[in-house]
Structure 1
Amino acid sequence: MSAVKYPKIIGYELVEQIGGGGFSSVFRAANLEEHRVAACKVIALTPGTTDKQRKSVDKEMRVHSALKHRNVLEFLNAVVVELKHAHLYFPGIYMLMELAAGGDLFDKIAPDVGVGDEVAHFYFGQLLAGMEYIHKQGVCHRDLKPENILLDAAGTLKISDFGLAAVYKLVETGKTRTLTERCGSLPYVAPELNSDNPYQAEPIDVWGIGVILFTLLLGNTPWDEPTIHSPEFCKYASGSIFSEQPWFRLSTSALSLIRGMLTIDPNKRMTLNSIQADPWVMRPSQLASQSVVTLADKLTESLRKAGDLELANPNIQRDVDGDGDEIMASEGYRSQFTQSLLLFSQTQSGSRYTPHLTRFYASLGPSLLFNIIHETLVSLNVQCKVAPVRDNEPHKLRIGGHDKRRMAFKGWVYVEKFVYRDRNIEGSFVLMTRDEGNPISWRQLWKALIESEAVSPHVLRK
């Protein structure tokens, strides 16, 4: 990072890349004077950047910056460094936003299990509040999916990524317009987007939150796509799927609500107002008055039962060094939600900030383990590219592919040295960070790697 210069944005300096790839990267940014942190999305500008791409980003910034709600990721500021200033700073569009220190909501869900009725009810209420506000501002999100549902340091839900959002209503007059652009991710898009006809905006987002509630409750999306090409969707449309796994696990009230939101005819689909009045939604939340530590425990309960949390944190060592402690103190959430989610992992190079629970420790040294991991991922049909190894840096593997729902995923695998403090034996700390794709299928890949015949014997367990 030292070879590239980045500008300061209202006192914030870019200090560490925490996600992204290709033409877009996400950095943790710090305002050292005010002891505050944020996230900065950097979209690279190149000679090949088109006017259409620029206009699309400009629209995203205009829409996002106008939205101010506790359940919408806050847009703080933006700076543009044009190509002509490349001798000073890296050319790009810098979008400074609130740091979602709690990571992805769906990173905490055991695949095919879900989070249970109580937690799903709590977070669906926050999602609904955020979407009500967004629609009142005349905006349709159009890309509601697990990757865009984040948590802050106190475990509050934050709706993010307004790159596909559209203004469909004038707030002053209430006048609305239909939309025509085909966009979104297939497992989450509404069926009316399969035709060439204009569509109403609000029912699109209602369908999206319906799929998200299903995923919260059951730990997977209901189908690959809402078309005749999906056997699951065809069974849903015919009404024959409700006695099958996983649908029969839903309570009567939750199933009624989900079917109302996933009504195929958009004119008959539930509205946000009717969702708010639904008995499943209206009941008091059992978690609203709980501490953030209790919330973190409830949220990760399915991971504990599946054994995933013990793999991510086998209690080999509990100390967090001064740097890690300082970061937590400066963000004002020491010993709260994020610490309860075990977001800090002690490694030989210090405290790595990891808002991911897809990690594990191994008894084998980095060089040998890295080769085994590489071969295992290839055998799982994952595309792999080994990154050059520099002194005192982890072994890095760039990976990508498509999950069972045919959704693309991209990310990194880091393998670095780890020494047992009480045994003086060298092992490895392995961290998988996702740049793109469904957090649940990313967790499935993490679990498949750990349980593979070649890697499993070396994994340190509680």
Structure 2
Amino acid sequence: MDDAAVLKRRGYIMGINLGEGSYAKVKSAYSERLKFNVAVKIIDRKKAPTDFLEKFLPREIEILAMLNHRSIVKTYEIFETSDGKVYIVMELGVQGDLLEFIKTRGALHEDDARKKFHQLSSAIKYCHDLDVVHRDLKCENLLLDKDFNIKLSDFGFSKRCLRDDSGRIILSKTFCGSAAYAAPEVLQGIPYQPKVYDIWSLGVILYIMVCGSMPYDDSNIKKMLRIQKEHRVNFPRSKHLTGECKDLIYRMLQPDVNRRLHIDEILSHCWVQPKVRGLSSAAIHKEGESSRGAEPSRTPETPDKKSATKLEPREEAGPETQSEPKPNEEETLQVPVSRQSDNMDLNGELPGRVIEEEALPQP
């Protein structure tokens, strides 16, 4: 039977194609039982690679079945047919994903970014408390419901953390994700702490939310790594970000894994907590951050729409000098503002998304 017939027998009326890769596709469908539209991920075992079938797919199915959080895409049903097709019926992000939202509307006001980032961080805390790591956090995997609330999706690279006899989480050696959102330790092929990896990706996402552009240019991985390891983060002056917001991003994009924030520290940060404002400049200076005080948020500029798939790169800014800045320069907590990583298909066939059990070349 074709997909439409299979879904019809299960009570779903198949709709439009939402995406397609070499061995997986996503369709919209109307659920006669639920009385609303859903998304159906269809995986063809006959076309999928062995490592995906033996490792990633079983992990994804196990984890999806156990998750239940308001900011995580709901999984309604998982079933398989005799001809080797797996159907995962999920909540539909009716407003699309966060990347498309930002490309269309521009960077978010800090208040809107705070709300969405708090929803995402709450979802990650829920996962991390269950010892589940996502390992592919990016704007394309953040769907928006009818009220533009965040719904975390795509647990294809997720896993449950293993612990040693002393209770410490065992380092991961499977290097996966998208280069533009990947932490420097992952790009270098160093065994990594998976929860700490997720935090770096959160930092990239928040930067994109409030700046409307990428924090690092992944077109040159060697150069990007050097900038990341120097802990340089450039913020566009035109966005007039508050000191609290920049401080949080700076602490998440910390190359030293022992100093990078944990999820509880993110949720308790003064920028995330709407009632606790006014981070002291002394606290910021302690991390070597910006010396500028909090500034009011302005209406964001809409990014260039030339590219349908990428956030447009901007000219790289060098380290901040002592001279008085000119309008529209970038202020440095120190990194080049750039483009998004190459688009990935459903299965991550393009280079840079997943490298199984081997390190990327050392810079």
TM-score, with length taken from structure 1? 0.56
Structure 2: how far apart are the matches of 1:202 and 1:140? 6
Structure 2: how far apart are the matches of 1:42 and 1:17? 11
From 155, 165, 181, give the equivalent of 2:158: 165
Contact persistence 2:212–2:303 (CA under 8 A): no
Amino acid at match of 2:177: G
Amino acid at match of 1:141: H
Give a deviation string over 1:72-127, Cα, whole Å, max 9, x none.
Answer: 101111111233xxxxxxx5111111111121122121479411211111101101
Structure 2: how far apart are the matches of 1:95 and 1:3? 12
The corresponding residue for 2:14 is 14
From 342, 348, 355, give the equivalent of 1:407: 342
The corresponding residue for 1:29 is 29
Contact persistence 1:78–1:95 (CA under 8 A): yes
SS at match of 1:268: coil
The corresponding residue for 1:264 is 255
From 231, 242, 246, give the equivalent of 1:251: 242
Matched, 1:206 2:199: yes
Structure 1: how far apart are the matches of 2:44 and 2:247? 45
Structure 2: how far apart are the matches of 1:210 and 1:221? 11
Structure 1 pair 246–93 and aligned structure 2 pair: CA distance change class (3 A): farther
Contact persistence 1:110–1:302 (CA under 8 A): no
Shift of 1:257: 0.8
SS at match of 1:109: helix
Amino acid at match of 2:115: F
The corresponding residue for 1:54 is 53
Structure 2: how far apart are the matches of 1:13 and 1:130? 30
Structure 2: how far apart are the matches of 1:279 and 1:151? 25
The corresponding residue for 1:223 is 216
Matched, 1:108 2:101: yes
Structure number having the greater strand percentage: 1
Shift of 1:228: 6.4
Structure 1: how far apart are the matches of 2:75 and 2:59? 13
Structure 1 pair 406–28 and aligned structure 2 pair: CA distance change class (3 A): closer
Moved more, 35-44 or 194-203: 194-203
Unaligned runs of 5+ in 1: 84-90, 286-300, 309-357, 359-402, 412-434, 438-462
Shift of 1:8: 4.1
Shift of 1:230: 2.5
Give a deviation string over 1:197-239, Cα, whole Å, max 9, x none.
Answer: 32112110110101000000001111134986235x5445446
Greater relative CO, 1 or 2 (CA 8 Å, sep 6+): 2
Unaligned runs of 5+ in 2: 277-298, 309-337, 351-363
Structure 1 pair 30–128 and aligned structure 2 pair: CA distance change class (3 A): same
CA RMSD of aligned residues (A): 3.4
The corresponding residue for 1:131 is 124
Structure 1 pair 236–35 and aligned structure 2 pair: CA distance change class (3 A): closer
Structure 2: how far apart are the matches of 1:239 and 1:195? 16
SS at match of 1:70: coil
Contact persistence 2:239–2:300 (CA under 8 A): no
Equivalent runs, 1:118-197 vs 2, <5 Å: 118-169=111-162, 176-197=169-190
Structure 2: how far apart are the matches of 1:12 and 1:260? 46
Structure 2: how far apart are the matches of 1:158 and 1:42? 20
Structure 2: how far apart are the matches of 1:216 and 1:82? 44
Structure 1 pair 8–210 and aligned structure 2 pair: CA distance change class (3 A): same
TM-score, with length taken from structure 2? 0.70
